[in-house]
């Protein structure tokens, strides 16, 4: 799992290639920003189509495990990266037989999960002292950062598409450690 500062550094790292305007780099920035912003699974990301993005509400419609559909919000940085990918990059990768996928691979097909895993590993590798994580580690980081920021467990459960609260509770260990440290530091009888 990444600390918040490491996640920020990862987002900065992935944006450096995009600044050149390279279509693949623009896509990669949008992919990493969206993964971290939403905490969606890599399969959910690869399954997104163009019409799954609602910019007016800044949410994506995700088809999760078990065919359950949910809407997941994303922030301004992810919106900027998505718009730039769609405005400046996607058309360069479109082939005659391209699907309506939000993210395309270098040959115009739907971006595959292996490419996303490789991308996340490469981006995180340039962040000093960051653990080697893949997309699921980015999901775990997003959930933990939401909880540390004050989000309640039920909200995080809904955002992540977990069927049970027990699954979401697995993400709380770092938050509990943080709460214990604050309690120890601030409570008069700790």
Catalytic residue annotation: 41, 65, 136, 139, 162, 171
Q: CA separation (Å) from 140 to 27, 147, 163, 165, 168?
A: 22, 11, 16, 15, 10
Angle, helices 113-125 vs 23-38, to 10°: value is: 90
Which of 109, 112, 85 lies closest to 26, judged by CA?
85
> What whole-number distance in Å separates Cα of residue 28 and Cα of residue 18?
8
> Looking at the DSSP assignment, which residues form a beta bridge with residue 110?
104
Helical (H) or strand (E) element with 65: none
Q: What is the DSSP letter of 126?
A: T
């Amino acid at each position: 799992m990444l600390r918040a500062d490491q996640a920020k550094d990862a987002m900065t790292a992935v944006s450096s290639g995009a600044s050149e305007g390279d279509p693949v780099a623009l896509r990669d920035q949008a992919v990493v920003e969206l993964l971290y912003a939403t905490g969606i699974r890599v399969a959910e990301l690869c399954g997104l189509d163009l019409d799954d993005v609602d910019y007016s509400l800044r949410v994506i419609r995700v088809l999760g495990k078990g065919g359950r559909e949910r809407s997941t919000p994303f922030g301004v940085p992810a919106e900027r990266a998505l718009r730039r990918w769609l405005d400046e990059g996607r058309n360069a990768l479109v082939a005659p037989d391209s699907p309506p996928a939000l993210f395309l691979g270098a040959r115009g097909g739907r971006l595959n999960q292996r490419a996303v895993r490789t991308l996340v590993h490469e981006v995180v590798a340039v962040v000093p002292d960051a653990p080697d994580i893949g997309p699921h580690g980015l999901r775990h980081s997003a959930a933990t950062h939401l909880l540390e920021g004050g989000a309640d467990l039920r909200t995080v459960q809904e955002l992540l598409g977990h069927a049970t609260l027990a699954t979401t509770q697995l993400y709380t260990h770092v938050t509990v450690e943080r709460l214990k440290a604050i309690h120890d530091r601030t409570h008069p009888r700790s």
